Chain A
């Protein structure tokens, strides 16, 4: 592999890994706070992409029903992004309220909550396909794609934008978790769940905030994904979400740093395996490698083994 192809693949891998990293972070923060793997998170990502599709296409006047005004490109982008993130955060919080909270308050066994999460994911997918049909939807062009070259590497502003925005968002989240009071509360809950209410912090409120953050990050990933790969399928949440989940676990579930590392690692593995070997072996080899990592380090790269007291 020449240095040029290597750099090209590196760029692709960074972009591909960004999606996994953002969604994996969503998995990790919810797990850190609730000790629950929110299997519906991949489908929240899908919902975010579809919300952006509807809002963006509406604002760009691409639907049959035309708006009485036309907005400039940057306005469409910002309105779509903010509205999508808000709606998806609302969706995530509603899911928590309707499905997870009653079980949490009843003290249900964690397994039942996990099953509920799986079912909510299925519900979102099938609701999508039942109401909107199985036809793939084209994502509206919110940002004009401008290709350029750096040496022998072909890049577009979208690719570079995805990488830059993802890293910026994850730095923001790290800042939030480390420097703000709410972030401190989130970390506290992941250390010692029972002591937090004793300190006068409302666990429910922090959980709502966590879900809102996770949901809006998934929406951001959805918008970025739609911009980079403008075809939306109803099962895109399953395909990408499950892989992001695996990368979160490989990085060490509950750890944001681990989720980011795991997401980029999976992105690198997928792109480079597809570059070196025939691309049909991609999933096979990627998952086998991930299983290998889990076999060597069962709690993930940055995970902390939870000690159970007997």
Chain B
């Protein structure tokens, strides 16, 4: 039994989270407020982990992550509304309701791909610039995205784009299970899986090498351009996925949701958790979302407290909660449970 626990800990843990979040929602035990919080936590995990890939592992300074989130959100929303519901602008649904099971995930994936292609816009200037200049380019991209959407009246412009709420209703009309929560659950696991496996792969180790010393890594035959483009596209794609899910959770999007303010929120979560630490990102995304809700009685003063918290963090513990380390570095005994390779089982506890 203990051996089973050790061998399949991650799967069991994920199962536990699933049971704790999705099942009670399906049974109707959670009210819609708690459902919203859980979904926000999931989306924030996706966004934080993806930004951590650029800001933490690669050491760049991407201030415009919300732009890619918005790109994914808009693309996914337009596709689902186009195909699945009756809309004033887009006309009748193009496919019958049964297809919605396929259209929904496909739209999310296409939103992610679109955001990844948009990510090329910051990947290419990043070859020649770093640091402050890249910050501006990402800021400008964020502004450009927002301004661009505001000018396209067909999808609502500055008024926003509605309809995603009805898409979710169509899905739930087919089978009354909490679709968005299930998708967020699996998307979060996907994001963590992808980023983790990317950064421990041989190709992905180049990302950290670039952070430490770009010139030296060029000398060591790391193709910095290729690594940068891959990392940027991956991170922006995941952000687009998070954005698509965000659009369907809230049911309404407008360009004002994807401004620097949102980018800063995501950055706060990344730096709070620790650059280059996935467990840190998960922890800080959860803690941040929960803290924001717990502090609701403070009203607007929550938003005053958060920057102060981060300033204090920067002065006293700039590396964030987890620093550059993962949970398994802090609690080495956990390595027996969270092993990714079979070999770790061997140096785990003696004969079981």
Contacts and interface: CB of A to CB of B under 8 A. Distances in A.
A116 B131 CA distance: 15
Given A122-B303, A126-B303, A294-B133, A103 B314 contact: yes
Given A111-B61, A126-B300, A281-B151, A249 B264 contact: no
B315 to A, nearest CB: 5
Interface string B287-314: 0000000000001110110111011001
Contacts of A238: 260
B307 A122 contact: yes
A130 B132 contact: no
B264 A130 contact: no
Given A112-B318, A280-B151, A287 B140 contact: yes
Contacts of B61: 111, 114
Interface in A182-229: none
A290 interface: yes
Contacts of B308: 119, 123
Contacts, number: 108
Contacts of A129: 300, 303
B267 interface: yes
A160 to B, nearest CB: 31
B314 A283 contact: no
Contacts of A284: 144, 147-148, 151
A37 interface: yes
Nearest to A99: B311
A246 interface: yes
Contacts of B215: 308, 310
Interface residues of A, number: 43
B143 A120 contact: no
Interface residues of B, number: 40
Which of A119, A290, A308 has the most B CB atoms < 10 Å from its CB? A119
A116 B144 CA distance: 25
Contacts of A282: 147
Interface in A41-64: none
B303 A291 contact: no
Contacts of A308: 215
Q: Residue among B271, B310, B314 with the most chain A CB within 10 A?
A: B314
A62 B255 CA distance: 38
Interface in B239-260: 260
Contact of A120 (B125, B137, B260, B307): B307
Nearest to A126: B303
A298 interface: yes
B154 interface: no
B166 to A, nearest CB: 28
Nearest to B219: A310
Contacts of B135: 37, 114
B132 A116 contact: no
B150 interface: yes
Contacts of A288: 144
Contacts of A291: 125, 137, 140, 144
A300 B306 CA distance: 34
A290 B151 contact: no
A294 B304 contact: no
A14 to B, nearest CB: 24
B136 interface: yes
B153 to A, nearest CB: 9
B136 A119 contact: no
Contacts of A123: 304, 307-308, 311
Contacts of B129: 294, 298
B303 A130 contact: yes
B225 to A, nearest CB: 16
B128 interface: yes
Interface of A: 37, 99, 102-103, 108-116, 118-120, 122-123, 126-127, 129-130, 238, 242, 245-246, 249, 253, 280-284, 287-288, 290-291, 294-295, 298-299, 308, 310
Q: Which 6 A-B pairs have the closest CB atoms?
A: A119-B307, A126-B303, A130-B300, A123-B307, A283-B147, A284-B147
Given A115-B267, A123-B308, 15 more contacts: A109-B318, A115-B310, A116-B310, A119-B311, A127-B304, A130-B300, A130-B304, A242-B143, A253-B132, A281-B147, A283-B146, A291-B144, A294-B125, A310-B215, A310-B216
Interface of B: 59, 61, 125, 128-129, 131-133, 135-137, 139-140, 143-144, 146-148, 150-151, 215-216, 260, 264, 267-268, 271, 299-301, 303-304, 306-308, 310-311, 314-315, 318
9 contacts: A103-B314, A113-B314, A122-B306, A123-B304, A123-B307, A127-B304, A242-B143, A284-B144, A291-B140
